Amino acid sequence: MYVSTDCVVLAHRNFNEADKILTIYTKEFGKMACIAKGVRRPTSKKGGHVVPGNWCKVFIAKGKRLDLLTEAELKKAFGIKKPTLGKTGNVFHLLELVNQLTEENQKNPQVFSLLVDFLDKVDREEDFDLISAAFKIKLLSALGFFSAKSFKSSTTQSLIKSFEEENFTDLKENLTIKRESYLKLLSFLDSIIESLIDTKLKTTRFTNGKI
């Protein structure tokens, strides 16, 4: 059976002499693993498409043990417009969050939409403190890990509710938070995430101006 879906490539690793095993987050099926044959060869037409941070339409043949990616059409490569080490680190931070917090084969179109939307904001060089805080809160909420109602403090509850419910443009216009407060909020969110995944986030040191 063949399926086609939009996806964002979350991670990859080399396999055999010329292949890669990809971890992708798809619109229709959630997180999946698949093998991309021959993509490490210089002549591969798919090789430049299926790299972390790329939004692609892919065609996949379902297998008994591992699905096979047969075609990939690039829709957008995030982070390559005026690329910097900081922007690349920010892209990989969002990818790691989704990869670590989601399980395979659990459909959640909201997570896919959030990832594409916020990768685009990184690509347009929006304020990454705001991007990071909003993405983490919206992602945790979409996955059911917490909501504003989980917090007893009315001040904290109000802030989390704003991040959960308001769109990015409204947050940018209405929120007035000092950088020190952002760093405290982000540290708090990272501690929640690391508790959930039971490991340290690898990309945190590349974000928030820590390079």
Model confidence at 82: pLDDT above 90? no
Final residue in a domain of this structure, among 57, 77, 97: 77
- The predicted structure's pLDDT at residue 149: 86
Final residue in a domain of this structure, among 23, 50, 77: 77
Strand partners, 20: 14, 36
Model confidence at 4: pLDDT above 50? yes
Model confidence at 208: pLDDT above 70? no
184 shares a domain with 120: yes
Burial class for 46, CB neighbours closer than 10 Å (0-12, 13-18, 19+): buried
pTM of the model: 0.92
Final residue in a domain of this structure, among 27, 47, 77: 77
- The predicted structure's pLDDT at residue 43: 86
- The predicted structure's pLDDT at residue 38: 92
CATH number of residue 126's parent domain: 1.20.1440
**104: in domain:** yes
Model confidence at 6: pLDDT above 70? yes
- The predicted structure's pLDDT at residue 54: 95
- The predicted structure's pLDDT at residue 211: 35
CA distances from 39 to 42, 56, 186, 211 (A): 8, 15, 37, 31
159 shares a domain with 107: yes
140 shares a domain with 57: no
Report residue 5 as tokens: 């879906």
User: How many domains does one find in the chain?
Assistant: 2
114 shares a domain with 35: no
39 shares a domain with 98: no
Binning pLDDT at 50, 70 and 90, where does residue 209 land? very low
136 shares a domain with 39: no
- The predicted structure's pLDDT at residue 154: 83
How far apart are alpha carbons 49 and 12 in whole angstroms?
12
- The predicted structure's pLDDT at residue 210: 44
Q: Tens of pLDDT along 51-71?
A: 999 999 999 998 888 899 999
108 shares a domain with 58: no
**144: in domain:** yes
Q: What residues make up the domain containing 42?
A: 2-77
- The predicted structure's pLDDT at residue 48: 86
**211: in domain:** no
Q: What percent of the chain has pLDDT over 90?
A: 68
166 shares a domain with 93: yes
Residue with tokens 């490539």: 9
118 shares a domain with 57: no
Q: Tens of pLDDT along 100-126?
A: 999 999 999 999 999 999 999 999 888
Mean pLDDT of the chain: 90
